[in-house]
Amino acid sequence: MDPIEVFKALSNEARLQILDWLKDPKAHFGPQGGVDLIEVGVCVSQITSKLNMTQSTTSQYLSVLQRAGLVHATRLGKWTYYRRDEEAIKEVASYIQHDL
C-alpha cells in the first residue's frame, strides 16, 4: 500500500461516493444481465449513470481508485466491472489506526 496514492484517491468526493456505493452494491445498483454485483462487481455504465458524469470522468476516477489498490477491475467482453478490495481497505484503516 502506498499511503500517498490512497489518500490522493480518497481526497475526492465522487471517488468516496463510489467506494460507499460499492460497499453495498445491491442497495445502490440494479441487476446487470446476470453478472453478480458482489462477486464480479458493478459495470462502469451503472456507476457513470449514478454519478451523473461522463464515462471518461467516471473511468478516470475508477482508475485512480484502482491504482491506489482500493478496487478490483474485471473485464468481461467489452464491459469492465469494479468491486471494492476489502482487504486493502482494512489495511488502510489499520495504517491510520496504528501508524499515523
Tens of pLDDT, residue by residue over 30-88, are: 998 889 999 999 999 999 999 999 999 999 999 999 999 999 999 999 999 999 999 99
Residue 77 carries which DSSP code? T
* First-residue to last-residue Cα distance in the chain: 14
Full set of structural domains in the chain with CATH: 3-99 (1.10.10.10)
Per the CB < 8 A criterion, the answer to whether 97 and 3 are in contact is: no
Is this prediction's pTM over 0.75?
Answer: yes
Closest C-alpha to 45, from 16, 35, 70: 35
Look up residue 92 and give its three cell numbers: 488502510
Does the pLDDT value for residue 100 go beyond 90? no
46 class by beta-carbon count within 10 Å (0-12 exposed, 13-18 middle, 19+ buried):
buried
What is residue 11's three-state secondary structure? coil
